[in-house]
């Protein structure tokens, strides 16, 4: 049986890629053939007409099976911005069918897949649909990444309620400490534990160097 998890965040820049990287490495220690899929990315370096997105590079290195950057990230935009706007400007319509085909190709090689979204839960793919519509179509289990900062409680509650309202399974949430020091961090997490109904999968400490991650120092549970 193939396990597939969609990683969403309470906002953009909440650490979805770093947490995805940790989950992939953790799952590999349990013997899974892990792979990442980031169907849409924005922002990167253009080399020989190929756009290299930094998140894609991290996800590629964190997967236990070998995948090309194109397999991991089939739709890449050079500029940073909302996918629906960038696709309109580039005259490149984002098709859910193509996103699904890319996922099916990875399913043939892996049995534990992390699918990373873009921005938050309702990031538009066009003026007609959002990322959440594709997640619902694929019947993916969602994991919420919550950046511990001012405003995260409201954003987290709204995100979970939105997921539940569409009858989508939420496999849990992870607290990501994106700031080195915040005297209210413990209180934020206590409050989230009270309000968020999905399983608490663990807490990521503040990581000054994202390239050097010691899994033994990070206590998280794999989503189910």
Per-residue pLDDT of 4-24, as tens digits, reads 999 999 999 999 999 999 999
Element (H, E) at 19: helix 16-28
Determine if residue 172 is labeled as part of a ligand binding site. Answer: no
**Is residue 223 in a domain?**
no
Domain total in the chain: 1
Torsion of CA 144, 146, 152, 154, to 10 degrees: 10
Contact 53, 80 (CB under 8 A): no
Determine if residue 207 is labeled as part of a ligand binding site. Answer: yes
Amino acid 4: pLDDT: 98
Amino acid 217: pLDDT: 80
Q: Which residues of the chain fall short of a pLDDT of 50?
A: none
**Is residue 159 in a domain?**
yes
- Give me 207's structure tokens: 């990581």
Residue 106: CATH number of its domain: 3.40.50.300
Containing domain of residue 19, as a range? 3-217
**Is residue 224 in a domain?**
no
Q: Is 70 a catalytic residue?
A: no
Give the span between the Cα atoms of 130 and 224, in whole angstroms: 24
Amino acid 183: pLDDT: 85
Amino acid 215: pLDDT: 85
Per-residue pLDDT of 136-164, as tens digits, reads 999 999 999 999 999 999 999 999 999 99
Distances (CA, A) of 174 to 15, 20, 130: 10, 11, 23
Determine if residue 36 is labeled as part of a ligand binding site. Answer: no
Determine if residue 15 is labeled as part of a ligand binding site. Answer: yes
Q: What angle do CA 193, 197, 200 make, to 5 degrees?
A: 55
Classify burial at 102, counting beta carbons within 10 Å of its beta carbon; exposed 0-12, middle 13-18, buried 19 or more: buried
**Is residue 222 in a domain?**
no
Per DSSP, the residues of 167-205 read: T--EEEEEEE--SS--TTHHHHHHHHHHH--SPEEEEEP
HSE at residue 85, side-chain half, CA atoms within 13 A, is 7
Amino acid 168: pLDDT: 97
Determine if residue 14 is labeled as part of a ligand binding site. Answer: yes
Which among 224, 2, 28 is positioned nearest to 105, based on CA atoms?
A: 2
Reported pTM: 0.95
Active-site residue identified among 38, 61, 95, 149: 38
**Is residue 204 in a domain?**
yes
């Amino acid at each position: 049986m193939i396990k597939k998890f969609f990683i969403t965040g309470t906002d953009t820049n909440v650490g979805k890629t770093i947490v995805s990287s940790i989950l992939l490495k953790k799952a590999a220690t349990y013997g899974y053939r892990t792979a990442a899929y980031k169907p849409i990315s924005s922002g990167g370096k253009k080399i020989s007409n190929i756009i290299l997105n930094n998140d894609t590079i991290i996800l590629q290195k964190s997967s236990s099976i070998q995948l090309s950057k194109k397999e991991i990230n089939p739709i890449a935009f050079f500029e940073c911005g909302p996918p629906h706007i960038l696709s309109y400007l580039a005259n490149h319509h984002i098709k859910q069918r193509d996103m699904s085909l890319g996922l099916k190709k990875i399913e043939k090689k892996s049995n534990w897949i992390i699918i990373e979204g873009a921005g938050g839960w309702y990031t538009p793919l066009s003026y007609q649909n959002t990322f959440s519509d594709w997640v619902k179509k694929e019947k993916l289990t969602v994991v919420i990444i919550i950046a511990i900062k001012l405003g995260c409680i409201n954003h987290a509650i709204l995100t979970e309620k939105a997921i539940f309202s569409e009858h989508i399974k939420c496999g849990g949430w992870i607290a990501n400490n994106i700031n080195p020091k915040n005297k209210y961090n413990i209180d934020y997490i206590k409050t989230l534990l009270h309000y968020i109904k999905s399983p608490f999968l663990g807490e990521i400490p503040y990581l000054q160097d994202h390239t050097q991650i010691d899994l033994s120092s990070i206590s998280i549970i794999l989503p189910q």
